[in-house]
Structure 1
C-alpha cells in the first residue's frame, strides 16, 4: 500500500532526477569529458564548486554538520545524472567512499571538521586502503601499511595503490595496522614523507599510488581503530560498491541508447540495419542486461536506506550488485562497439567515452569475478553461523 510519505518521496525523487539531468546536460556535455582526458587531476574544482552550490556535496552529510542527511536513493539520482554525461568528477570516491567512512568512523574533532568541509565542497578526501597491484588480495580488515605510536604522534610507513581521485585529493584516509589492530588515519596531502604518484586510467582520469615514508602526524589524526575501524571501512566500502553500480547502470543505459539510435538510422541494402532480426535479438539481449542490473541496483539502494538492515546482508548485496553491474557494463560495451561497426572503434565517436569509463568502473574496488568470490565467502560464512 502506498503511503503519503512514499508518494511525497517519489515526487521529490522525480524533481531531483529532472534537476540533476538538466544540470549535467547543460553544464557537463560530452565535449567537456573529452577535453579533460589526461588533464591532471582529471576534473575541475570549478565544477565541484558548482555541485556544492546545488547542495549535492552535502546530500549524505548529517544536518548538524551542514548537510541534508538524505538517503542513498537520492544520492543515486545525482550520481546517475552525472554518469550519463561521463562527468569526470570523483563524486562516488569522495562523497560516498570517503564521506561515509568519515561518518562511520565517529565524531572525532577532525572527522567532524572534514565532513563539514565535504558538505561545503571545500575539501576532497580520498580513501587509501588498497595495496595489491591487482586488487585481488585486498581486504577491508587488513593492511600491510604499519602504524607506530610515538608519545603524542603517529608514524606511518607503507604504500597504497588505486587511490581515487589521486593527486586531486586534499588528503587521504589511510588504513594501517597498529598496536590496536586496523587503524584509519587522516593524512593531509602536503604532509612531509608522503609521495603521491599519478597513474592515468583508461578513461583519461587518474588514480594514485601513495608512498608513506616515516610520515609523522598528531595523535588527533587517528579516526578509528580496531573493530570499529574495520566495521567503518567495510560499511563505507559496501555503500560505495552500490553507488559505483549506479554509475555503471547509467553508462549501460547511455551505450544502449546510442546503439538503438544507430540501429534505427544506419541504412544498408536500402533499409535500417535495426530491421535485421539477428541485430534485433542482440539488442534485446543488451536490454535484458540493463533491466536485470536496474532491478538489482534498486534492491541494493533500498537495503542501504533500510535502517533495520544488517552488515552481512549489506555486504552480500553490495558484492552481488557490483558483480552484476561490472559484467553488464563490459558486455554492453563490447556488443555496442560491434553493433556500431567501424565507427564504434574511433576515438572521435562518443561511444568510446562510455566504454572507457565502464572499463575503469568495472574493475574499481573489485571486478565481477572478485565480487562473486566475496559473495560466496560471505554467504557461506552466514550459512555456517546459522547451522552453528
Structure 2
C-alpha cells in the first residue's frame, strides 16, 4: 500500500506478505481450487488454513510476546486484499478477530491452536442482522458465522460488568444450523450452549477487534473488485467484434474509466483508514469514521465493479463457467459482512461530530 512507503521496513514487510500470498493464493490462478471447494464441507482447505497459521497470518496483528507478528493494519489490509483478489475461501478475517479476542483474554491454549492453524475458532458475537453491536445475551442465537462447518470451537461473549466474559463452546455437540451462501461457502447459526469460561475482555477491546475486522473486510472487497476489473480489461483487449477489440469502442472505454476511478477512491479510503489505525494516539471517533467510510465505499464499489464486469463480458459472463461470476458472488457475500454500506454510512455520519469536537 502506498502509504506504507514512508517506512522502508513496513514497505518491505508488505511486499513480502503480498509475495507469500501469491504462493498460496495467486491472483492469476486458474481458480480450479476455488471451484472445487464451492458448496462442499467445510468450504475451505484445512491444509491451506494450517499454512496461513505457519506463515503467521492469523496472528499478524498480535504483538510478538503473544505469538503474533506485531504488524499493523496496513500490513493486514495488504494481505486481505491479495486473498480477496484470489477469492481465497479461508476465513482469515474471522480467525484474526478470534485471535485478538483470545489474546486479550489470556486464553493461551485455544489461542495457540488457532495461531498455528491447527484449528479454526470463530467468535460468535452477532445476534441480529446488519449490526456491529454485541449485546452478549446468554441465550441468544449467534448469527452469520462464516465457514462454521469447519470450526473446532466458538467463542461466545456474554455481557458482564465492565465488558464480556468469554466462553469456549466446542463445535462437537453444538446446536449449529448451516445455510449456503452465494459464493459456495456457508454461514452458521449457533444456539448458545454450555461452554468453558476462558477469560474476559473489555467492551472497548471487542469493539476495536470488530472495527479491524470491518476494515480487513473492506480491503478484501477491494481485492475482489480490483481483480475483477483486471480480468475485464483483459477480456476487452482480446474479444473481437467487427474486426477490432471491443475495448476500442468508446462507450466501453467510458464505462471502464468510471470503474477505475471508483477503484482508486476505494483504495485511497482503505489506505487512509489503515494508516489512521496504525497511528498512535489517533482519536477513536476519527478512526471509527475512517473505517466506516472505507467499508461503505468498498461494498458499493465491489458490487458496482463486479456487476459491470459481468455485463462487459457479454452473454458468457452470465454463465457459471465464466470465472468473472465468481467475483460477483464473493462481492455479494462480503458486502454485508460486518455491516452493510448503509450501516457504515450511518456510523460515518455519527462519528463526524465526535471527531470534530
- TM-score > 0.5, shorter chain as reference: yes
Cα contact 1:141–1:182 (8 A) shared by 2: no
Tell me which residue corresponds to 1:240.
Answer: 213
Question: Quick check: 1:171 aligned with 2:167?
Answer: no
Residue matched to 2:176: 196
Match of 1:183 in 2: 164
Structure 2: how far apart are the matches of 1:370 and 1:83? 22
- The whole-number CA distance in structure 2 between the counterparts of 1:196 and 1:217 is 14
- Please say which of residues 16-25 and 315-324 is displaced more in the overlay: 16-25
Partner residue, 1:34 = 35
Counterpart of 1:361?
A: 334
SS in 1 for 2:176: strand
The residue that corresponds to 1:150 in the other structure is none
Unmatched segments (≥5 aa) in structure 1: 147-156
**Contact 1:28–1:87 (8 Å) recurs in 2:** no
- Cα RMSD between the aligned structures? 2.4
Q: CA 1:237/1:26 → structure 2, altered by over 3 Å: closer, same or farther?
A: closer
Task: Give the 3 Å change call, closer, same or farther, for CA 271–116 of structure 1 in structure 2.
Answer: same
Rounded to whole Å, the distance in 1 between the matches of 2:218 and 2:4 is 29
Instruction: Give the SS at the match of 2:40.
Output: coil
Aligned to 1:347: 320
The answer to whether structure 1 residue 158 and structure 2 residue 151 are counterparts is no
* Distance across 2 between alignment mates of 1:4 and 1:286: 26
Contact 1:130 1:162 (8 Å CA) reproduced: yes
Aligned ranges 1:1-388 → 2 under 5 Å = 6-25=7-26, 29-95=30-96, 97-103=97-103, 105-106=104-105, 108=106, 111-132=107-128, 135-136=129-130, 138-143=131-136, 145-146=137-138, 157-178=139-160, 180=161, 183-190=164-171, 194-212=174-192, 215-218=193-196, 220-224=197-201, 228=202, 230-382=203-355, 386=357
- Residue-by-residue CA offset, 1:200-229 (whole Å, 9 max, x unaligned): 1110011100112xx3344x43423xxx2x
Q: Deviations over 1:260-307 (max 9, x none)?
A: 111111111111111111110000000001100011111111112112
**Residues 128 and 211 of structure 1: is their aligned pair in 2 closer, same or farther, counting only changes over 3 Å?**
same
Q: Which structure's CA Rg is the greater one?
A: 1
| Residue ranges of structure 2 left out of the alignment (5+ in a row) | none
TM-score, with structure 2 as normaliser: 0.92
Deviation at 1:20, TM superposition (A): 2.1
The structural deviation recorded for 1:53 is: 2.8
CA shift, 1:311, in A, is 2.2
Distance 1:371 1:3, change over 3 A: closer
Instruction: Render the CA deviation track for 1:116-140: whole Å, top value 9, x for unaligned.
Output: 32222223221212222xx23x342
TM-score by length of 1: 0.85
Which moved further from structure 2: 8-17 or 272-281?
8-17
Deviation of 1:248 (Å): 0.5
Structure 1 distance, partners of 2:58, 2:354, is 36
- Measure the CA separation in 1 of the matches of 2:19 and 2:93: 20
Q: Distance in 2 between matches of 1:217 and 1:244?
A: 28
Distance 1:376 1:60, change over 3 A: same
